[in-house]
Structure 1
Amino acid sequence: MRADIHIDSDLLQQCRKGSSKAFRELVEQLKRPAYYHALSLTGHSDDAMDVSQEAFARAWQNMSSYNPSQPFYPWYYTILRRVALNHLRSRSRRREDIDNGQIDTMLTEAGGPGEDCQSVQYSNLVQQALMHLSIEDREILCLKDMHDHSYRELADIVGVPIGTVMSRLYAARQRFRQLMKESGYEHE
């Protein structure tokens, strides 16, 4: 899934002036990528919906603090990320309680009822490995490998230099590979 993070400047200007109609249009444009980014962070469908909706509400309340000379989505993503992290902290979930069946909508969107058993098993291994990674590792992996953001977009979204994105991504991929190996998956 690729998120188009470019938003029309006229629409943003209308939002900044308090147009709720314009903000509804903005939400409509961003609700899908926001949901999937929240799902990448939380791992739960219901939580992702709650987090993305709360982040939109906070963005609306704080539109006056948005700097129109900067891209909108990284500003919004910062809000989304904070809401997601606060949500995860407040829930204090134990790893055993994680519902590994939720993140699969991202991984197997193209799959159908006749999907190959090995593919389902692989998807389950991927889901389990992702949910055992730290939130930072899961975030960077999902933004790059599932949402197909460029390094520049990742740097803007996460708010770190490109070099840091590259090193974090490399380390996260190494940890992910190790978890996959420990769960019995051997990639050639």
Structure 2
Amino acid sequence: MTVLADNPANATEKNLVLRCQKGDTVSFKELYRRYQQRVRATLYQLCGSEMLDDLVQDVFLRVWKGLPKLKEPSYFSTWLYRIAWNVATDKRRKFAQNLSLNDDGTILNIMPSRPEDTPDLMRLHYQDLIQQGLQNLSLEHRVVLVLHDLEDVPQKEVASILQLPVGTVKSRLFYARNQMREFLRKQGAL
């Protein structure tokens, strides 16, 4: 029994965080294993595929460095998504500073590339349309839609992550869904 309790794979998230705060790298690897795909998916939706591995690595590096300061281990996932949001915001800010423009003032190379390894052409097309629709939203609206609708984060937690009132999250979610629906309708996907 004691062996199972010490096994990080069987530990609760809160216990893993407490162990990490004491420097336990095995527990951190378990947290990484549990959250890496979700963080990766969130960053992909917010920033596209360019430098995705670096962004994920940056999030978890910040998590490792910040864990000793985390006062409420039970809010780890909220705190983790907040870090992912900050990394995405930093990347977008740097991206905006380095944009190149066409002669008519339109932005070059803003759309992320499509995943080439997906065999289902319709699914690939739909994912590309969703990514294009997300790119048409402001970052403030996009992050609410990605976290709530694509990552299944509850509205209250989204509000906590973004440090916004729940009413603002609801309003942005309503607007983002309408914009996305309108974009997909114009593309003939609805």
TM over 0.5: yes
Task: Pick closer, same or farther for the CA change 1:131–1:18 going to 2, 3 Å.
Answer: same
Amino acid at match of 2:108: E
Q: Is the 8 A contact 2:17 2:73 kept in 1?
A: no
| Cα deviations by residue, 1:69-117 (Å, 9 ceiling, x for unpaired) | 5510111221121111111222334543034434x69xxx9xx63x465
Q: Is the 8 A contact 1:16 1:64 kept in 2?
A: yes
Give the number of equivalent residue pairs.
172
State the shift of 1:121 in Å.
Answer: 4.3
Task: Return 5+ residue gaps in structure 1 as ranges.
Answer: 1-6
Aligned counterpart for 1:75 among listed residues 66, 74, 79: 79
Aligned to 2:143: 139
Task: Return 5+ residue gaps in structure 2 as ranges.
Answer: 1-11, 101-106
Task: Pick closer, same or farther for the CA change 1:116–1:186 going to 2, 3 Å.
Answer: closer
The RMSD of aligned alpha carbons is: 2.7
State the shift of 1:186 in Å.
Answer: 7.0
Q: Is the 8 A contact 1:43 1:131 kept in 2?
A: no
Aligned counterpart for 1:17 among listed residues 11, 14, 22: 22
Q: Which has the larger radius of gyration?
A: 2
Percent identity, please.
Answer: 29
1:97 alignment partner, SS class: coil
Q: Which has the higher relative contact order, 1 or 2, with Cα contacts under 8 A spaced 6 or more apart?
A: 1
| CA distance in structure 1 between the aligned counterparts of 2:69 and 2:80, rounded to whole angstroms | 11
Q: Is the 8 A contact 1:12 1:68 kept in 2?
A: no
TM-score by length of structure 2 reads 0.76
TM-score by length of structure 1 reads 0.77
Aligned to 1:43: 48
1:185 and 2:179 aligned: no
Aligned counterpart for 2:175 among listed residues 168, 171, 177: 171
